């Protein structure tokens, strides 16, 4: 089958590698002049919140060992080396501008420096990312009278932009926390304004790096989710809810205690600042794609009064600063609006399909986070975004390849839409809003991957027979190495087509 992949970020590269393993002819189209997706748009010193152990192709190691939390430069270098090693056909500076349905698939039209052209494909995989849309930049009253500069983090190409300035950073995602932290050592003042604080995941809890807790089964089994992959986990979440609540209550208490200890011996102003960044809402709702690790220096700077948090909402601008809805004014000459990105957009799609993909303000929810039951000959890579992102893409592409080969029997379109609605509704009830809420599995990565592997007849327990490692060792990308080959060996003994599990995800 001839397959086009739109987007050469990490998801597109992983998808191309996997679909070639599945025996397909693959061409990748990328509108940028370089591959890497959102990592080509990053600001200086931006780092992966995840670790390099989890963020890589399962069978392509890092050529040079990266930092524990790799820089964008290290990630781009790895992706370029991986694409070269794999011999992927990537058409850089080829922007897909239109998909037209034809008798057997799609006619893909593109624009490039030479003008453009078109090619026919049997199948298309959209891998356009969740954070490559334009930034959310609202217009505030009085903005035109402001004597300073208003930018987003995408406009920060050199940290010198903060030198000597009175800086105000608005927002509470990873980018906002980074901007506020980076500005401290360069600016004369730094104010961090946010409408709602979010739970920041500490890099260390009780001296243990968060990855050892979040990526082991003893940690993931306590994660509330729209679906549980086995009866044991379902029993815990339905009958032993006190254990789940107690687990997350303990983590919340650790975060609060660590924050309290930072304030010991500090001024009242410092303690108020530390208190301002601790949310009142449940931590579970913040375990989403926009979940932010606490930058190592952020809370330290707050405790030292070098960074001044303000739990308030911007009302407008004055000539010399920002007006807040609580009546206060903060003087500044540089405002960094780090307020997130819009939901993914699909301008190249036929209008009837574009409406299906763009009508919800929290992104498109897909069946198995991979396909839309009303859009033929098309799938999506990276719309199962999560803390174990690359393995989720790889397992998703194995599932897709099996379906394209006729190995999987899916429910009817109506039943798939009902499943989609169930997952979307759970997310809306339990996860705080973000424009890409429906396009992600976030911290429910283990439940999601386990279900897809069981759809295929593969064991999700990748560390067995070592039961201790299975329960207490952190999972990483290498645990999923060889799953294509494993499936091919198993396939001959399976009764095909297999019905997928009657679990919504």
CB count within 10 Å of CB 160 equals 10
CA distance 496 to 493: 9
- Among 317, 337, 357, which residue terminates a domain? 337
**Could you check whether the bond before residue 497 is cis, i.e. omega within 30 degrees of 0?**
yes
Q: CB–CB of 317/323 below 8 Å? A: yes
Q: Is residue 97 part of a domain?
A: yes
Contact between residue 424 and residue 438 where contact means Cβ atoms under 8 Å apart: yes
Q: Is residue 411 part of a domain?
A: yes
CA distances (Å), origin 259, targets 250, 280, 412, 482: 14, 14, 51, 43
What pLDDT was estimated at residue 213?
Answer: 87
pLDDT at residue 314, as a whole number: 97
Dist. CA 440–CA 64, nearest whole Å: 30
Q: For the domain that residue 173 is a member of, what is the CATH number?
A: 3.50.50.60
Looking at the domain assignment, is residue 504 inside a domain?
A: no
Segment 412-441 shows an average pLDDT of 96
Supply the pLDDT for residue 177: 95
Query: Structural domain of residue 245, as residue ranges?
Result: 143-337
* For residue 294, pLDDT beyond 90: no
Q: Is residue 67 part of a domain?
A: yes
User: Where a domain ends, among 289, 312, 337?
Assistant: 337
Which residues, other chains included, contact 130 with Cβ-Cβ below 8 Å and sequence gap of 6+?
289, 341, 344, 363, 382, 383, 385, 436, 439, 440
Q: Is pLDDT above 90 for 185?
A: yes
Same domain, 236 and 271: yes
Give the pLDDT confidence score for residue 1 in this predicted structure.
Answer: 95
Q: At residue 105, does pLDDT exceed 90? A: yes
- The whole-model pTM stands at 0.95
In a domain, 505, yes or no: no
Q: Is the pLDDT of residue 346 over 90?
A: yes
pLDDT 10s digits, 190-244: 999 999 999 988 888 888 888 888 899 999 999 999 999 999 999 999 999 999 9
Q: How far is CA 73 from CA 35, 38, 40, 80, in A?
A: 12, 12, 9, 11
pLDDT at 45: 87
Residue 66: pLDDT band with limits 50, 70, 90: very high
Number of domains observed in the structure of the chain = 2
Q: Is the pLDDT of residue 303 over 90?
A: yes
pLDDT at 499 over 80: yes
Query: Is the pLDDT reported for residue 288 higher than 90?
Result: no
Instruction: Give pLDDT, residue 201.
Output: 83
Answer yes or no: is 275 within a domain.
yes
Tokens read off for 427: 């997310």
Last residue of one domain, picked from the residues 337, 368, 397:
337
Cβ contact 50:292 at 8 Å:
no
Tens-digit pLDDT profile for residues 471-485: 999 999 999 999 999
Q: What is the dihedral of CA 356, 132, 114, 106, to 10 degrees?
A: -30
- 162 Cβ neighbours under 8 A, 6+ residues apart: 182, 183, 186, 187, 334
pLDDT, averaged across the chain: 94
295, pLDDT greater than 90:
no
Judged against a pLDDT cut of 80, whether residue 289 lies above it is answered with no
pLDDT tens-digit map of 23-63: 999 999 999 999 999 998 888 889 998 899 999 999 999 99
- Report residue 263 as tokens: 């304030």
Q: Are 48 and 75 in contact (CB under 8 A)?
A: yes
* Digit-coded pLDDT (tens) for 400-413: 999 999 999 999 99
pLDDT band at residue 491 under the 50/70/90 scheme? very high
53 in any annotated domain:
yes
Tell me: do 289 and 385 sit in the same domain. no
pLDDT of residue 293: 78
pLDDT of residue 42: 84
Same domain, 206 and 127: no
Give me the mean pLDDT over the 415-434 stretch.
96
């Amino acid at each position: 089958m001839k397959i086009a992949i739109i987007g050469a970020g990490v998801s597109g590269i992983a998808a191309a590698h996997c679909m070639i393993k599945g025996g397909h002819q693959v061409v990748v189209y990328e509108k940028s002049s370089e591959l890497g997706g959102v990592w080509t748009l990053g600001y200086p010193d931006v780092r992966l919140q995840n670790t390099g152990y989890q963020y890589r192709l399962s069978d392509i190691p890092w050529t040079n060992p990266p930092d524990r939390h790799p820089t964008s430069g290290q990630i781009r270098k790895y992706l370029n080396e991986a694409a070269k090693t794999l011999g992927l056909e990537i058409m850089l500076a080829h922007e897909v501008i239109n998909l037209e349905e034809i008798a057997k698939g799609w006619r893909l039209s593109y624009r490039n420096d030479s003008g453009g052209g078109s090619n026919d494909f049997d199948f298309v995989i959209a891998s356009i990312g969740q954070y490559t849309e334009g930034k959310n930049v609202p217009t505030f009253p009085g903005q035109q009278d402001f004597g300073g500069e208003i930018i987003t983090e995408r406009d920060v190409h050199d940290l010198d932009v903060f030198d000597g300035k009175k800086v105000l950073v608005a927002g509470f995602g990873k980018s906002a926390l980074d901007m506020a932290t980076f500005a401290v050592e360069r600016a004369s003042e730094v104010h961090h304004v946010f409408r709602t604080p979010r739970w920041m995941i500490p890099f260390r809890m009780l001296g243990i790096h968060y990855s050892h807790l979040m990526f082991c089964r003893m940690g993931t089994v306590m994660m509330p989710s729209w679906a549980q992959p086995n009866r044991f986990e379902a029993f815990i979440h339905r009958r032993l809810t006190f254990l789940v609540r107690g687990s997350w209550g303990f983590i919340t208490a650790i975060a609060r205690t660590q924050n309290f200890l930072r304030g010991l011996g500090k001024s009242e102003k410092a303690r108020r600042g530390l208190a301002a960044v601790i949310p009142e809402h449940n931590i579970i709702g913040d375990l989403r794609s926009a979940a932010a690790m606490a930058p190592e220096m952020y809370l330290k700077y707050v405790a030292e009064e070098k960074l001044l948090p303000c739990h308030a909402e911007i009302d407008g601008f004055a000539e010399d600063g920002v007006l807040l809805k609580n009546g206060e004014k903060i003087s500044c000459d540089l405002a960094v609006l780090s307020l997130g990105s819009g939901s993914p957009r699909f301008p190249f799609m036929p209008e009837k399909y574009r409406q299906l993909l763009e009508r919800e303000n929290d992104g498109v929810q897909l069946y198995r986070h991979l396909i839309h039951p009303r859009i033929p000959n098309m799938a999506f890579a990276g719309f199962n975004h999560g803390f174990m992102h690359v393995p989720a893409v790889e397992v998703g592409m194995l599932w897709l390849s099996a379906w394209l080969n006729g190995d999987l029997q899916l429910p009817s379109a109506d039943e798939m839409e009902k499943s989609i609605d169930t997952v979307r509704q759970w997310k809306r009830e339990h996860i705080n809003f973000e424009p890409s809420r429906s396009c992600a599995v976030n911290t429910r990565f283990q439940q999601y991957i386990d279900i897809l592997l069981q759809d295929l007849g593969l064991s999700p327990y990748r560390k067995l027979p070592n039961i201790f490692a299975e329960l207490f060792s952190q999972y990483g990308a290498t645990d999923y190495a060889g799953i294509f080959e494993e499936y091919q060996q198993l396939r001959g003994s399976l009764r095909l087509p297999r019905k997928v599990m009657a679990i919504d995800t």
